[in-house]
Structure 1
Amino acid sequence: MNPACLPSFDCKYVLFGHTKAINSIKFSSDGSKLLSGADDALLIVWDVVNGSEDQKISVVFNGPISAVIWAPTSEICATNAFAFCTADGTLFTYKRLQNHYDYVFSTPAHEGPIDDMAFDSTFSRLATVGSGCVKIWELNKDCKRRKCFLDSHEVYVALPEEIGYQVSPWMMRWSQQLLTHIGYSIVTSDGHSLVVTNLKDGIDMYSMPPGQPLRSFKHNISRNVSLTIASALNGSVIIVGSDDGYARVYDSKMGIMTSILQHGNAGSLVQIVDVSLHFENIVLLLIATKALSIGKSCILATGSSDADDIKIKIWAMRVVSFAS
């Protein structure tokens, strides 16, 4: 058998700035910046290339920051605007002016904490999930106008079922009851699979839309908490957090674990992960020359959700050959 090149990761930076549990981290699409939001009501913009803090924004009157997302208003700049949400259900947007980000607007979005966010750059639409419903927000290019965009004027509950929607026109595309609990889920970066943390013994992968289970990746779970998942390299790599101080990297095609990344102390909660894909000209700034032979690579961020071990780690990918 020919050797198989499987990805592994080296820690490039350790970032300190938050004082309480980190709830959300998101790379910009070009991988140059990272957003983080935490229970200390702080949003921090990080420079990934230099491993430094760019800007810190405090919203103490709104409570913990529950979700963050980049929401660029320019096709040529992936980092010119972002949005975040707080525990009281408020949605904030900021836009870059010269060398810093300025407040644009805030609005009550949900009655309780917002669990997650997504942004569609093609139509400048922002999705928020909270209080058992999905809302779509339409932003114009200068980020000064916003409206709730939901063509049917109805609210759909997304749990305990996994539901797929089409935005224009608004309609449900599929609905599927899964066999396990759903802690967190993503569609892989190739769009072919749904990956779910099952809150019991690991993560499960399904065809898309969900049909027969494809495979499961087992790891010990001591605390019944939601662990985020990330997908990289055209869906071939799956990354998940843990409650034992490590993040785990799986090869989704071969069905094996390729790396265990020690983020924090044994028993600490590594609940937050995110990943960014890069072409070779950007990878030059981030990883060793050895990995450039594959032409495309990725970087990974892990964040702590334990009060005693608060930090973010940035990991750069390398390639290790294994005989199969």
Structure 2
Amino acid sequence: MNKFYLQRSFRGHKAPINCMCFSEEGYLASGGDDGHIMLWSMAESSEILRIRPKQGPITALKWVVGSLTSAENFLLSGGADGTMQLRKLSGDKVNVLLSTQTVFPGAVMSIEVEDAQGIIAATGPGRVVLFRLSVGKLEPLQCLLADPPFSQDPRPALVVSTHFFQKGKSILVSYLDSREIVAWSISPWKELWRQKFGNRIGSSAYSDSLGSLLVWNLVDGINVYRLTDNPTCHLLLVQTLRIKIRRNRICDVQFDSTGEFAISGSDNGELHLWNIDSGQLDQALCHG
């Protein structure tokens, strides 16, 4: 793996940054406690747009890609006030709010998009909600289902993340305090299996091509699981990437583009890059 180094720094937020995501067109979107969404151009190394969506602190961001035109970019944002917004961003630095919906009574924890199916999964306090994305219609975000349904009380466990798998036909739902992951088929909505873990699930990342899952376990590092169906479908622990956790904070985890390396934050201002097969730390980058 090539070594990473500091290439550029972007400054603009006035409070901690909660979420970031890259677009295929070379844009970086960031959201923070200051309630702003910043849009940066990687090619020009500059800020190109600042948006104040009035959602409170921005807690989740996700680009929408697929059959949309290259001249337009679509960005989903989730806020601490429980709302989710869809915006159209064009090259002339103009943004158009297409939809805003109140989804949860508390903060939106995560947003995942299955571009091929046009399905969006949003998580919040005790509930996961699926939407159908139909850009060009009067109401581009159409609610498909909520689990539990809105007519019922939410689960006592916090839903921290979702991951589409089986080419978007199924979804993994991770719960923080109940220490479990539940797999669902989307159509029809049906529980496939569930698995309990020994540690809490702080954050997670999934590679559908590899069938691998990373879990920040809030105890001693990152657990690496493989999805297997032998003898029944479940997640098999294959590796633990050991991290000295000094403070009980949730850090993000991601795969690199090859799936061979895990990328994680830390509680001491370092960004860690791990070789998954060897379990060894490959590089530590000082961030702050």
What is the aligned counterpart of 1:138 among 132, 136, 139? 132
Take 2:145 and 2:71, find their aligned partners in 1: how far apart are those partners? 26
1:38 aligns with 32
Alignment of 1:257-296 (within 5 A): 257-264=281-288
Alignment of 1:109-188 (within 5 A): 109-142=103-136, 144-145=138-139, 146-150=141-145, 154=149, 158-159=174-175, 160=178, 161-188=180-207
Residue 150 of structure 1 and its aligned partner are, at CA, apart by 1.6
1:11 aligns with 6
Take 1:50 and 1:58, find their aligned partners in 2: how far apart are those partners? 22
What is the aligned counterpart of 1:21 among 16, 25, 29? 16
Alignment of 1:65-80 (within 5 A): 65-72=58-65, 74-77=67-70, 80=73
- Contact 1:73–1:80 (Cα < 8 Å) also in 2: no
- Contact 1:72–1:82 (Cα < 8 Å) also in 2: no
Residue 98 of structure 1 and its aligned partner are, at CA, apart by 5.0
Stretches of structure 2 lacking an aligned partner (at least 5 in a row):
158-173, 229-233
Take 1:41 and 1:151, find their aligned partners in 2: how far apart are those partners? 27
- Contact 2:20–2:28 (Cα < 8 Å) also in 1: yes
Q: Quick one: which amino acid aligns to residue 95 of structure 1?
A: K
What is the aligned counterpart of 2:258 among 212, 234, 254? 234
1:55 aligns with 49
- Contact 1:163–1:172 (Cα < 8 Å) also in 2: yes
Stretches of structure 1 lacking an aligned partner (at least 5 in a row):
1-5, 265-324
Q: Quick one: which amino acid aligns to residue 145 of structure 2?
A: L
Q: Quick one: which amino acid aligns to residue 227 of structure 1?
A: C
Give per-residue Cα distances to partners, 1:174-203, cap 9 Å, x unaligned: 211012121111113634211101111111
Give per-residue Cα distances to partners, 1:119-169, cap 9 Å, x unaligned: 111122211000111101112122642221128874776522111222222
Residue 222 of structure 1 and its aligned partner are, at CA, apart by 1.3
Residue 78 of structure 1 and its aligned partner are, at CA, apart by 8.8
Give per-residue Cα distances to partners, 1:251-282, cap 9 Å, x unaligned: 11222111101111xxxxxxxxxxxxxxxxxx
1:251 aligns with 275
Over the residues paired in the alignment, what is the CA RMSD in angstroms? 2.1
Residue 172 of structure 1 and its aligned partner are, at CA, apart by 2.0
- Contact 1:73–1:81 (Cα < 8 Å) also in 2: no
- Going from structure 1 to structure 2, the CA distance change for 1:102 and 1:233 (only over 3 Å counts) comes to same
Q: TM-score, normalised by structure 1?
A: 0.74
Take 1:16 and 1:212, find their aligned partners in 2: how far apart are those partners? 41
- Contact 1:185–1:228 (Cα < 8 Å) also in 2: yes
Residue 17 of structure 1 and its aligned partner are, at CA, apart by 0.8
1:225 correspondence with 2:249: yes
Take 2:195 and 2:122, find their aligned partners in 1: how far apart are those partners? 21
2:216 aligns with 197
Residue 74 of structure 1 and its aligned partner are, at CA, apart by 3.3
Residue 225 of structure 1 and its aligned partner are, at CA, apart by 1.1
Structure 1 runs of 4+ aligned residues shifted over 6 Å read: none
2:75 aligns with 82
Give per-residue Cα distances to partners, 1:207-265, cap 9 Å, x unaligned: 1154331011111111111101110133101000011010100011222111101111x
Take 2:91 and 2:257, find their aligned partners in 1: how far apart are those partners? 34
Take 1:218 and 1:244, find their aligned partners in 2: how far apart are those partners? 15
Q: Alignment length, in residue pairs?
A: 257
**Aligned residues with identical type, % of pairs:** 26
Q: Quick one: which amino acid aligns to residue 104 of structure 2?
A: H
Higher relative contact order (CA 8 A, sep 6+): 1
